[in-house]
């Protein structure tokens, strides 16, 4: 498992880094759109409990289309359109639900709408903040800043929990996660943030960074736990198998999509 994790990272990281560093905004939006499509497929697999009709229905299809439009709006740095498109996606789900509604199927249809609304808030809107962040003057640096903090913190939490973990963090949601692992992850978030700041972002305030790094790490861990909660409810181990050693795309970005809005807010309004 450990070898698969590292081999996957060795193959994927250079390719993704090149796209982020040297590709135009359009290529970055395209990359995030691919991530959205795969994550959507995995999300609806989880929340449908393996029911292919719900996974491939009109509401999931509309959600993916709406999510793609949200990403395109973010590519043009149109923050105002994000809210309008989110409303359009909700209105579209309402219309689609009315087509299938009956007294017998009402609760099931509305349950699908609830999952669709959760999808829009959970995946496309946070991914859109990554694109908005990429569009800032120092956006490329900040993308790597956030990715290093979250992914290396996640790796540190994994190994700290594996070798030092004694006390369960939340066994009902994720039996493998420990308090020691969570603390190790946050400690790594802080260390990585200060090393990255020293090398690439020396203008950042140490005091503000000391607040940002653990906050991003803790929010990222909440994202990890939330996805585990979804999988535990539907009795699914991994969201997918596209990344050997990691599971699915959603398993890999669950922390990132929770932390991305935090990074965008800090970049735009605090730092």
Q: What pLDDT is attached to residue 242?
A: 59
User: According to the model, what pLDDT value does residue 235 have?
Assistant: 80
Report residue 238 CA to chain centroid gap: 15
Residues in the chain: 271
Domains held by the chain: number: 1
14 phi and psi, to 5 degrees?
A: -60, -40
Query: How many CA atoms lie within 13 Å of 121's alpha carbon, on the beta-carbon side?
Result: 9
Q: What is the pLDDT of residue 154?
A: 92
Using one digit for the tens of pLDDT, what is the confidence trace for 64-122?
A: 999 999 999 999 999 999 999 999 999 999 999 887 766 546 678 888 899 999 999 99
Domain that holds residue 150: 2-270
- Provide the β-strand partners of residue 168: 178
Nearest alpha-carbon partner for 82 in 135, 31, 139 = 135
pLDDT at 50: 64
Residue 107 near residue 65 (C-beta atoms within 8 A)? no
**C-alpha to C-alpha distance for 174 and 124, rounded to whole angstroms:** 25
pLDDT digits (tens), the chain, 271 positions: 544 554 444 445 666 777 788 789 999 999 999 999 999 999 998 998 766 565 678 899 999 999 999 999 999 999 999 999 999 999 999 999 887 766 546 678 888 899 999 999 999 999 999 999 999 999 999 999 999 999 999 999 999 999 999 999 999 999 999 999 999 999 999 999 999 999 999 999 999 999 999 999 999 999 999 999 998 888 877 666 555 545 688 988 999 999 999 999 999 998 8
Q: How many helices (H) and strands (E) does the chain have?
A: 11, 2
pLDDT at position 220, please?
96
Q: For the chain, first and last CA: distance in Å?
A: 39
pTM for this predicted structure? 0.90
């Amino acid at each position: 498992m450990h070898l698969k994790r590292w081999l996957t990272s060795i193959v994927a990281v250079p390719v993704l880094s090149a796209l982020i560093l040297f590709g135009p905004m359009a290529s970055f939006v395209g990359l995030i759109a691919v991530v959205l499509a795969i994550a959507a497929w995995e999300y609806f697999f989880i929340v449908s409990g393996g029911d292919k009709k719900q996974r491939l229905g009109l509401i999931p299809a509309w959600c993916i289309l709406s999510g793609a439009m949200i990403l395109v709006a973010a590519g043009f740095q149109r923050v105002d359109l994000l809210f309008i498109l989110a409303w359009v996606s909700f209105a579209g789900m309402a219309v689609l639900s009315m087509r299938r509604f009956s007294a017998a199927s009402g609760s099931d249809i509305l349950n699908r709408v609830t999952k669709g609304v959760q999808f829009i808030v959970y995946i496309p809107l946070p991914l859109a903040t990554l694109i908005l962040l990429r569009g800032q003057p120092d956006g490329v640096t900040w993308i790597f800043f956030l990715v290093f903090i979250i992914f290396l913190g996640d790796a540190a939490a994994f190994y700290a929990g594996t070798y030092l973990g004694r006390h369960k963090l939340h066994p009902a949601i994720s039996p493998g996660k420990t308090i020691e692992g969570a603390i190790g992850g946050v400690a790594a978030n802080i260390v990585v943030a200060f090393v990255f700041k020293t090398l690439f972002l020396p203008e950042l305030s140490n005091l503000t960074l000391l607040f940002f790094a653990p906050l991003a790490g803790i929010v990222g861990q909440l994202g990890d736990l939330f996805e585990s909660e979804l999988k535990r409810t539907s009795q699914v181990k991994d969201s997918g198998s596209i990344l050997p050693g990691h599971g699915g795309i959603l398993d890999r970005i669950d922390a990132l999509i929770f932390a991305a809005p935090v990074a965008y807010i800090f970049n735009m309004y605090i730092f």
